[in-house]
Amino acid sequence: MIPIVSNRELAPNIYEMVVENRILARRARAGQFLIVMPDDHGERIPLTIADYDVEAGTVTMVIMAIGTSTRKLVKLGPGDSLYAMLGPLGNASEIENYGTVIMVAGGVGAAPIYPIARALSEAGNRVITIQGSRNKGLLFWVDKLASVSSEHIITTDDGSFGRKALVTEPLRELLEKETVGCVYTIGPAIMMKFCAETVRPFGVRTIASLNSIMIDGTGMCGGCRVRVGGETKFTCVDGPEFDALAIDWSIATARQKSFCEAEKCSLDRYIELNGTK
């Protein structure tokens, strides 16, 4: 059982949960993920590691409560425990000195991009972060991201904070005026796809971190497979980071849709039993 240290709502339906797990905290590297189960009836939920503290022996996750399992998860707080937690899983980010790196985070992607930005910054890179959100209310970890970035650009779809634009606009402008060594993009699949298309003409190395549907996270189920450069890869053991320009995004998005009906059925039942919160 994994004790929960804290859980707070960062923005509507977005929660930051800190748990105690000394082994995982010591072992975790930027870019890796973990799997949690809120209770013995729950799903195995893959989440990219948002932060870890070796001294305190804690691991931080940022969770968007959208389905049954994530709603169950964010209901837990100090005094409660997670039924299961496995990790760290997947490969760590390759931290090199690229010169200038652009980090593009969309929505809840701001969380997993943070430890990578921090590691890249510590490795001597000039880190430019573009943080996109639908509106001001959904923004979180702005200061945290700013603290590891030389430049921090915020965009909102409705212009309620920062620049009214999609993340791809400042991305294109930066690529036009700067020599960029690498672009990272983490967020909704559609955003990562458009980031890849924006970068493609500039020929800059672009890395996306995928959040595929999976069960075990150890290579066994193959549910997280994606086509990358014409080959089948497993997000859990070959990823979660891949060359964004080589990912077949249409397959990646189609495979996320297989369980839509079941997810709705599960959530309807959950709301009927527990109310909307």
Partner 1 sequence: MSNQSPSDGSTARIGRTPMPEQDPKVRARNFKEVPLGFTPDMAMREASRCLHCKKPLCREGCPVGVPIPDFLALVAKGDFAAAAEKVKETNALPAVCGRVCPQENQCEGRCLLGKKFEPVAIGRCERFVADYQRETGRISVPKKAASNGQKIAVVGAGPSGLTVAGDMILAGYEVTLFDALHKPGGVLMYGIPEFRLPKAIVEAEIASLEKLGVEIRCNSLIGKTITVDELIRDEGFDAVFVGVGAGLPTFLGIPGEDLGNVCSANEYLTRSNLMKGYRFPEYDTPVIRGKNVCVVGGGNVAMDAARSALRLGADTVKIVYRRSEAELPARAEEVHHAKEEGVEFLLLTNPIELLGDDRGQVRAMRVQKMELGEPDASGRRRPIPIPGSEDEFDTDLVVIAAGSRANPVLTHHTENLELSKKGYIVATESGRTSKPGVWAGGDIVTGAATVILAMGAGRTASKDMDTWLKSGKEGWL
Single out the segment in contact with partner 1 by CB under 8 A; choices: 58-66, 105-113, 114-122, 263-271.
Answer: 263-271
| Cα separation, 4 vs 119, whole angstroms | 26
Q: What angle do CA 41, 43, 44 make, to 5 degrees?
A: 125
Residue 216 interacts with partner 1 (CB under 8 A)?
yes
Residue among 169 and 216 whose Cβ is closer to partner 1? 216
Residues in the chain: 277
How do beta strands 58-64 and 51-53 pair?
A: antiparallel
Contact 62, 51 (CB under 8 A): no
| Cα separation, 19 vs 184, whole angstroms | 27
Residue 136 interacts with partner 1 (CB under 8 A)?
no
Residue among 56 and 254 whose Cβ is closer to partner 1? 254
Residue 20 interacts with partner 1 (CB under 8 A)?
no
Distinct helix (H) and strand (E) counts, the chain: 9, 17
Residues 52-71, one symbol each (x = binds partner 1 by CB under 8 A, - = not), give ----------------xx--
Of 8, 134, 200, 269, the one binding partner 1 by CB under 8 A = 269
Residues 22-51, one symbol each (x = binds partner 1 by CB under 8 A, - = not), give -xx--x---------x---xxxx-------
Closest of 29, 208, 236 to residue 103, by C-alpha: 208
Token couple for 94: 């390759």
Closest distance to partner 1 from the beta carbon of 213 (Å) = 9
| Cα separation, 65 vs 205, whole angstroms | 32
Of 60, 72, 116, 186, the one binding partner 1 by CB under 8 A = 72
Residue among 36 and 191 whose Cβ is closer to partner 1? 36
> Strand, helix or coil at 238?
helix
The residues that touch partner 1, with contacts defined as CB under 8 A, are: 23-24, 27, 37, 41-44, 68-69, 72, 83-89, 215-216, 218-223, 225-227, 232, 234, 237, 248, 250-251, 253-255, 257-259, 262-263, 265-266, 269
